[in-house]
Structure 1
Amino acid sequence: MEYRTLGASGLAVSEIAYGNWLTHQETGCVAAALDAGVTTFHTAAAWGGGAAEEAYGKAFSGLRRDDLVLCTGVFWPDGPGPNDAGLSRKHLYTSLASSLRRLRTDHVDVYQLMRFDHRTPLAETFLALSDLVRQGKIRYVGTAEWTATQLLDAHAEAERFNVPLISNQPHYSMLWRVADSQVIPTCDRIGIGQFASIPLAQGVLTGKYHGATVPPGSRAEGLAPVRPVLLPDLLERVGLLRGVADDAGITMAQLALGWALQNPSVSAVVTGARTPDQIRENAKASGTVLDLDTLTRVDELLGSFIQSDPRLVWSPPSP
């Protein structure tokens, strides 16, 4: 495993980060990730109704806390009340308190604002974050799926309130390059690194989907957002990437993860796994170097299926 610093900070993160959005039923994946050198783990308060954080809390029991970079997030509803969502001061305090309890820790390393909150003034959010930093409950702050303009505004408030804003987590893969034209250049200028999210396009880039057939137990079987991506023409193009991966001596999953890591602005790719073998395979993508010919072949094969419109950064209305 190789490590990179996150943005302009001195925080070292593993190139492969493990996220448990969909796979928070612990089946030995955390142990396999740790054995492979993964030190960076992502979760969020709302995932699985808190079960995702609880799974990590149990899995990390007995480990040296300082060996981990633990990231959790806030924004989505994590309770039934009108103040149980968004980025208000009240929700930040109550949600973080519950997250720390479920994670069995007294602090998180990166507290991620999972979406932009149109309802709450940024000044309110960043003043609250500043207080939480001074209290020692969070070490750094990140965002997820924020636009370039929103990030610039956040950077100004972060500097005003002395908040260490160091990361952004965009959807980013060989197919989804929406962050390339505006978000990533803006982050480069203001010292924010990228946690590349969904780098396998929900498993599509592993080559396991063929036509309209959905493999039993796969993510597409129970996750509706994957199904629109299962277009026959796209899957045919993705299938051709197997030859590219074979020529590079790596698997298709490692090709997809390695592609994202070729971008120096990407500090880590965040990927889940259903089995320990999957996380072991993914971890081997660390340190991958893809030559220009390989990158060119990827672009030529995926062609018009590559999405790069910066307007597609997803910042929904406040919950």
Structure 2
Amino acid sequence: MEYRTLGASGLKVSTLSFGAGTFGGSGPLFSAWGSTDANEARRLVDICLEAGITLFDTADVYSAGASEEILGQAVRGMRDAVTISTKLGLPMGDGPADWGASRSRLIRSVEAALRRLGTDYIDLLQLHAFDASTPLEETFSALDGLVKAGKVRYVGASNFAGWELMKSIAVSERHSYVRPVAHQVYYSLAGRDYEWELMPLGADQKVGALVWSPLAWGRLTGKIRRGQPLPETSRLHETASFGPPVDDEKLFDIVDALDEISAETGKSVPQISMNWLLNRPTVTSVIIGARNEPQLRENLGAIGWTLSAQQIEKLDKVSAVAAPYPYFPYRRQEGFARLNPPLV
């Protein structure tokens, strides 16, 4: 396992991390992800640690807190060996105090997360979404206080637009508050929008990307094929509307290219998809999920080898999508590119 420094921090995290969204399995979305109980979770955590995975990611909204509870039980007695990341800010109820990133909500939500996780500190706390109703000065003042109180070690964001993240960084620096070092983002061969603005921002501001859904909500598992119906076991039957849309023909072209590379390397379609991500600029860690041991061991095969330059070029080409103004085509023209060379 390789370990990388997370953004502008000293925190070292494994290049593969484990997402605990399958723990608990309640609600319309998370029941489709999985329903791992504490015993199964402990086994998966043990396998992760044996493989060198140290970062475990969850959120308060995952199965209404059950994911945090089960993760806490699974790492009991091993707290110093793991890095726990959780997220908050999305609605946990219908009341006016049940959502957002106000000072009172952050403090109350962190205390609740600590109880569920069975720990006295959170290694990485991420804002799950931008809260336009709360001044950023209030949010980052509260986060700074939580870090100074020893309840949080590092902070980050998730699913922010470029201007939202940049404004957050500016506010934190202006007031000498704790600064975001991570951005948890959607990024995959079937969804490369991250590259347009968030990747250059991450490179410039030293914010490390933690990639969620590297297999595009199960579309890059190798089970979805041109001219074939969606497998009955696919979770896309329940979750397709929750994720970013993907053009079917584009997806099938990507899978065809992955099949060709699979034949050349002996690696599976999902392993190749995740290996490609691990070599992209600003990507610190790719979050893998698993409902069972075989699935986890399959995902662990994404590391320990490299794609050739020709294979990377093939995947880059087949998955490329024309970006909107002002990112393309002007940024690719010689004059613009000389001033601002593209990262990829």
In the superposition, the TM-score normalised over structure 2's length comes to: 0.83
Matched AA of 1:68? V
Q: Which has the larger radius of gyration?
A: 2
Matched AA of 1:17? S
Q: Report the more deviating stretch, 156-165 or 84-93.
A: 156-165
> Is the counterpart of residue 185 in structure 1 residue 200 in structure 2?
yes
Q: Give the secondary structure class of the aligned counterpart of 1:58.
A: helix
> Residues of 1 paired with 2:46 and 2:288: CA distance?
15
Select the residue among 277, 290, 298 that pairs with 1:273: 290
Q: Give the secondary structure class of the aligned counterpart of 2:194.
A: coil
> Residues of 2 paired with 1:293 and 1:253: CA distance?
19
1:14-93 superposed matches below 5 A: 14-21=14-21, 22-23=33-34, 25-26=36-37, 27=40, 28-63=43-78, 65-93=79-107
Instruction: Tell me the C-alpha RMSD between the 2 structures.
Output: 2.2
> Is the counterpart of residue 256 in structure 1 residue 273 in structure 2?
yes
> Residues of 2 paired with 1:144 and 1:121: CA distance?
17
What's 1:209 paired with?
224
What's 1:170 paired with?
185
Matched AA of 1:25? T
> Residues of 2 paired with 1:310 and 1:111: CA distance?
33
Q: Give the secondary structure class of the aligned counterpart of 2:36.
A: coil
- Aligned-pair distance for 1:165? 1.7
Q: Give the secondary structure class of the aligned counterpart of 1:179.
A: helix
Matched AA of 2:285? A
1:110-259 superposed matches below 5 A: 110-159=124-173, 160-210=175-225, 211=227, 213-225=229-241, 232-240=248-256, 241-259=258-276
- Aligned-pair distance for 1:147? 1.8
Matched AA of 2:90? W
CA gap of 1:287–1:308, structure 2 versus 1, over 3 A, is: farther
Q: Deviations over 1:198-231 (max 9, x none)?
A: 1110111121123563334332233233798576
Q: Give the secondary structure class of the aligned counterpart of 1:204.
A: coil
CA gap of 1:38–1:153, structure 2 versus 1, over 3 A, is: same
> Residues of 2 paired with 1:72 and 1:298: CA distance?
32
Q: Give the secondary structure class of the aligned counterpart of 1:17.
A: strand
- Aligned-pair distance for 1:56? 0.2
What's 2:4 paired with?
4
CA gap of 1:227–1:4, structure 2 versus 1, over 3 A, is: closer
User: Could you list the runs of 5+ residues in structure 2 that have no partner in the other structure?
Assistant: 22-32, 327-344
Contact 2:162 2:197 in 1 (8 A): yes
- Aligned-pair distance for 1:310? 8.7
- Aligned-pair distance for 1:245? 2.3
Higher relative contact order (CA 8 A, sep 6+): 1
CA gap of 1:129–1:310, structure 2 versus 1, over 3 A, is: farther
Q: Report the more deviating stretch, 278-287 or 67-76.
A: 278-287
Matched AA of 2:52? G
In the superposition, the TM-score normalised over structure 1's length comes to: 0.89
CA gap of 1:186–1:228, structure 2 versus 1, over 3 A, is: closer
Contact 1:169 1:196 in 2 (8 A): yes
Matched AA of 2:4? R
- Aligned-pair distance for 1:246? 2.5
Q: How many residues align?
A: 308
CA gap of 1:171–1:25, structure 2 versus 1, over 3 A, is: same
Residue identity (%): 37
> Residues of 1 paired with 2:133 and 2:193: CA distance?
25
1:291-302 superposed matches below 5 A: 291-302=308-319
CA gap of 1:86–1:66, structure 2 versus 1, over 3 A, is: same
Matched AA of 2:302? A
- Aligned-pair distance for 1:35? 2.3
User: Could you list the runs of 5+ residues in structure 1 that have no partner in the other structure?
Assistant: 312-319
Matched AA of 1:52? S
